[in-house]
Structure 1
């Protein structure tokens, strides 16, 4: 059996193993999409943060970076994270930011950090993160993987970076913070999520939006499930045959 079929079979087995959670997953909990990258430090803390989130009233989905599957199997990722709703990188369509209420980055790898600072939207994680920020969706990241001054780096024998290298890492972290990404310590993730829930995106569709759609000859508008539609916008959409779709 080739690796592609092995992956499909593994996904089927995981679905069967965790099918008992179906009723729970249907509850209207905030949806947290977790973007899991591979890195040489911070994996243990990242998985611990995911498990802690999973113990709260949220719905977790895990989008796994392809590179991570070179070092861990899907079964190992499920065991470490406690999450069985996993999006495989190679056979999933590009996700829309409206499919989640919150984005969480448990492992800020230097590769992902560098791509983020360059706004390299050719990478699917970066495209989703940038889209989420533009849509007003909260994005948080554990920064241990890019903080060479953290004691965990010293514990793993990684404390000898030059001052310039450390400066460059911290500069990149500061830059993504300026983009709107919330920088988190492992023990602050729950507090951040609680505060992020309050301003969950309230997209407002107005008559002006309908007029703009008409100018572009659009026949449908995709809205988040939290969207608010003004009465005039609803009337205009019906009048002009513009379909309002909810994600």
Structure 2
């Protein structure tokens, strides 16, 4: 069979697979935005993690960084990841955190890690991650690409990492974990993001928040479900004409 026929056959099988999941994809499952980076280690494990997560009751959307799209076509990405819903743009605007229930980073590359520790929100991935964290959305990452003590580094002949470089990587990983990013092992994906979906604490809106919003000229405040609004805050919001809008997403 020539390459043209092989491509047609592969696309046909892929289409059948997705159509067989059509009923599942229409369910009200959590939507997880997957940020896929290119890295010199952990790519196969990252693709396997995406496929594993896709087996659960979630809806996945894949956002691949531009450098990865230079080496893999969207069709190849769909085959390797099992996800055909892609953010399609060479320089995409980050999807709204209100449209996403969780973020998943299957390959925490050193490049992304460095930009994230610098809070470089001019980078689209960093902006999406920071926005999700600020909105209380679960963000999970598999960090073996920044953990030279992991056995995979030895298998790839990359075990000769000097102590200073290893300490730098560990410090950056610890820093982003402190931001609220959950570090995951591949065997933990069956329990995530459901285990992390509950907010760390309830949102409480006080009179001080209303005064601050009024001084800033805000006309609307978005609230999570289960948010607590103090009576004085509710009275001030009516007085200042500030709408309290409950977000239907978690």
Query: How high is the TM-score relative to the length of structure 2?
Result: 0.78
Residue 189 of structure 1 corresponds to 189
Distance 1:140 1:234, change over 3 A: same
Residue 46 of structure 1 aligns to a residue whose secondary structure is helix
CA offset at residue 85 of structure 1?
1.2
2:218 and 2:242 in contact (8 A); partners too:
no
The alignment covers a number of residue pairs equal to 233
Pick which of 194-203 and 67-76 moved more.
Answer: 194-203
Residue 125 of structure 1 corresponds to 125
Residue 10 of structure 2 corresponds to none
The CA distance in 1 between the partners of 2:242 and 2:170, in whole Å, is 51
CA offset at residue 123 of structure 1?
0.7
Residue 79 of structure 1 corresponds to 79
Query: How high is the TM-score relative to the length of structure 1?
Result: 0.79
Residue 96 of structure 2 corresponds to 96
The CA distance in 2 between the partners of 1:32 and 1:177, in whole Å, is 19
Distance 1:53 1:210, change over 3 A: same
Map 1:50-69; keep pairs closer than 5 Å: 50-69=50-69
1:112 maps to 2:112: yes
Which ranges of structure 2 fall in alignment gaps of 5 or more residues?
1-13
Residue 3 of structure 1 corresponds to none
CA offset at residue 122 of structure 1?
1.2
Which ranges of structure 1 fall in alignment gaps of 5 or more residues?
1-13
2:110 and 2:146 in contact (8 A); partners too:
yes
Pick which of 52-61 and 155-164 moved more.
Answer: 155-164
Question: RMSD value over aligned CA atoms?
Answer: 3.1
Residue 218 of structure 1 aligns to a residue whose secondary structure is coil
Distance 1:17 1:91, change over 3 A: farther
The CA distance in 2 between the partners of 1:16 and 1:239, in whole Å, is 55
